A and B are shown apart, each in its own frame.
Chain A
Amino acid sequence: MSSFTLDAYQNEYLPLGGTDVNAIVTITSDGSGGPAGAPEAAVILIIDASGSMGVPNRKIKAAREATRVAIDCIRDDVRFGVIAGTDRARLLYPLDGHLAPASAHTREAAKQAVGRLKAGGGTAMGSWLALADQLFATAPGRTCHAILLTDGENQHETPEQLDAVLAQVDGHFQCDCRGVGTDWQVSELRRIASQLLGTVDIIPDAEAMAEDFRTMMSRAMGKTTGNVSLRLWTPQGARVAFVRQVAPTIEELSDRAAQINELTADYPTATWGAEARDYHVCVNVPPRDAGEEMLAGRVSLVEGDQVLGQALIKATWTSDQQLSTRISREVAHYTGQAELADCIQDGLEARKRGDDGTATFKLGRAVQLAAESGNDGTMKLLQAVVEVDDPATGTVRLKRDVAVVDEMSLDTRSTTTVRVGTGAT
């Protein structure tokens, strides 16, 4: 098990009558314990085998290759399986319907079975996830992780069917989603990944698939602590305005709260390896008199009922405006990063609608925010969609001809943030 450090960054001083307490909580996990101390794990690779994967044929070839690379990364004794997805889900390996313990022998057998991955049929991702859920149930008590690859839209089931499956499997396993090419829907994969606490990304070129799969599987194997929740206590009369993960990506957690008692709720954070994540917590508290100090929130990281670490969010009321008007650098930074993601998504949506005015304004603001915060990765993606005249003022022109792949990359990666202080500002 990892050891965890929690730190809260905030300006605890509120003006008289002030109610909003903002804090950034940084959680660092050292990933200690190593694979030996790691939770027992199970992984399933879910590979799209719809007809479109065969057009061009190198897409399905690349998928086979990437799946084999990922299989080679699976640690001994981790239970694993491979699913081929079309308009229904088919088990490629192991055929007996029980996840196999990884060994030199089973990895070889699975790699052979991947040769039977042939393109043909439709796409019904809900059925793929439902089969994965059944398989994970054959390895109870393990930390479960799926990797889903698709190249198209979820055409052969209704959105309601997919929603029903997501509700049913939520909390059973984590799922990283990857879209290859440009015929898939960003919103669809984002919905799956965010419900199942995984990542979503685009693989523009099939050739890059193997490397991405290697990274994803290695990261899954590097998890040293299982099901961890962020627990937030707030005092009587307070209201949690929002809880969101803000680094490495923005994930809204407010609607994922599981109430523990009147004053305490748990928010899921899934599994941890050696990594750091930042969370933005905003609590509304009833105002008190000048000089009064109160605890506005107690943030702890828990696994079951074991507390792995905690940080305090405080509030002190003051008539000294010098103190109360200061904005914490961390809070300001991540408020900007959240606005950046919103601006990109709103801007791209407006662009699709043909509302060039709104698109120019939103994407211009995004350029300005990316420049201010030193988010070079996002800036580069923005530059593929707009001509930047002046990043400081956010003056941009929409490009007339934008490659679909550039637009989708920007959309998919719009929620990727940079950590405070790491930017080149």
Chain B
Amino acid sequence: MTAVCPNGHESHTADYCDQCGARLGAAGASAPAAGATAVLPVVEEFDTSPSTRRDPCPVCGSARSGDDRYCESCGHDFESPAPLADTWEAVAVADRAQFDRLATADVTFPDGYAERRFALHEGENRIGRSHGRPDEAAPEIDLAAPPLDPGISRLHAVLERRADGTCVVRDLGSTNGTAVNDEPAPIAPHTDVALSDGDRIRIGAWTTITVRRL
């Protein structure tokens, strides 16, 4: 037996919608004026008329029903900015060569560091390490998980993907600085440095982040 939520989802749970979490049963202030059942999407409604037809989900390709904000199958948010044509990712690894070159006393190279991958979304992607406090937004590229590189500042640098398809790195005045590729000197703080596919960003005692265009 299924219930229908104010957003038109069929839910297998009776208390809250098992898709969007909306409260079932009591029509609260949030329920559409027309009443819950009246806005039930009907398949023909968005399949026949070109004016009301909805593009399928750009992520998983499933058909989109009515005015749903979220994709029924993968949960994609249709109101989020359209994804850029190309995708970039940042891959953080523990870099033995960098560690040996710096030879920082009292810091040990981590035993076992799983490669960490981060998708870069449009705009600013902060590199840093979170405090784990709920009142504090974690940086997008959060390197707080152990093994922790002690040389990374809480808010270290920013990787920015611009609308024109380029990508830059900007040091945020970190304690130990940010370097790019094999350049020994760190980049100037608060200054954009353009990146290309495959560039390596070196931070802390042993962390290297490689940016890749996919």
Contact = CB atoms under 8 A, between A and B. Distances in A.
A293 B28 contact: yes
Interface in B88-136: 106-107, 111-112, 131-135
* A159, A236, A286, A295: most-surrounded residue (chain B CB, <10 A): A236
A398 interface: no
B63 to A, nearest CB: 16
B30 interface: yes
B21 A296 contact: yes
Contacts of A159: 111-112
B20 A292 contact: no
> At the interface, is chain A mostly helix, strand, loop or mixed?
mixed
A357 interface: no
Contacts of A349: 150
Interface stretch (B33-41, B67-75, B190-198): B67-75
B22 A294 contact: yes
A162 B23 contact: no
Contacts of A293: 23, 28, 30
A294 B20 contact: yes
A282 B21 CA distance: 16
A288 B30 contact: yes
A339 interface: yes
Interface in A249-292: 252, 255, 262-263, 282, 285-286, 288-289, 291-292
Contacts of A188: 111
Interface string A283-312: 001101101111110100000000000001
B203 interface: no
Contacts of B71: 236
A295 B145 contact: no
B77 interface: yes
A294 B131 contact: no
Contacts of A20: 134-135
A290 to B, nearest CB: 8
A194 B138 CA distance: 23
* A237, A282, A293, A335: most-surrounded residue (chain B CB, <10 A): A237
Contact of A237 (B30, B69, B138): B69
Contacts of B16: 294-295, 298, 312
Given A236-B70, A262-B74, A338-B132, A291 B138 contact: no
B133 A335 contact: yes
Interface string A226-245: 00000001111110011000
A160 B73 CA distance: 39
A409 B175 CA distance: 31
A293 to B, nearest CB: 5
A20 B130 CA distance: 15
* B16, B70, B107: most-surrounded residue (chain A CB, <10 A): B16
Contact of A292 (B28, B106, B112): B28
B143 interface: no
Nearest to A239: B75
Given A293-B30, A339-B133, A352-B106, A262 B73 contact: yes
A342 interface: yes
A56 interface: no
A188 B110 CA distance: 11
B64 to A, nearest CB: 13
B20 A163 contact: no
Contacts of B23: 293-295
B211 interface: no
A285 B13 CA distance: 20
A133 B22 CA distance: 46
Given A292-B29, A339-B133, A237 B75 contact: yes
B36 to A, nearest CB: 14
A224 interface: no
Interface string A353-386: 1100000000000000000000000000000000
Contacts of B20: 235-237, 294
Contacts of A296: 21
Nearest to B68: A236
Interface in B41-94: 69-71, 73-75, 77
B75 A263 contact: yes
A292 B30 contact: yes
B158 to A, nearest CB: 20
Contacts of A127: none
* B22, B30, B74: most-surrounded residue (chain A CB, <10 A): B30
Contact of A342 (B28, B73, B132): B132
Contacts of B17: 235, 295
A20 B20 CA distance: 16
A238 B75 CA distance: 8
B77 A262 contact: no
Interface of B: 13, 15-23, 28-30, 69-71, 73-75, 77, 106-107, 111-112, 131-135, 138, 145, 150
20 contacts: A158-B111, A159-B111, A160-B111, A235-B17, A236-B70, A238-B21, A242-B132, A263-B18, A263-B19, A291-B28, A292-B29, A294-B16, A295-B16, A295-B23, A298-B16, A335-B133, A338-B132, A349-B150, A352-B106, A353-B107
A-B pairs, 10 with minimum CB distance: A159-B111, A235-B21, A295-B16, A236-B70, A295-B21, A236-B75, A291-B29, A294-B21, A163-B112, A292-B30
Given A236-B71, A262-B75, 20 more contacts: A158-B111, A188-B111, A233-B18, A236-B19, A236-B77, A237-B70, A237-B77, A238-B21, A241-B138, A242-B132, A262-B73, A285-B21, A289-B30, A292-B28, A292-B29, A295-B15, A295-B22, A295-B23, A298-B16, A339-B132
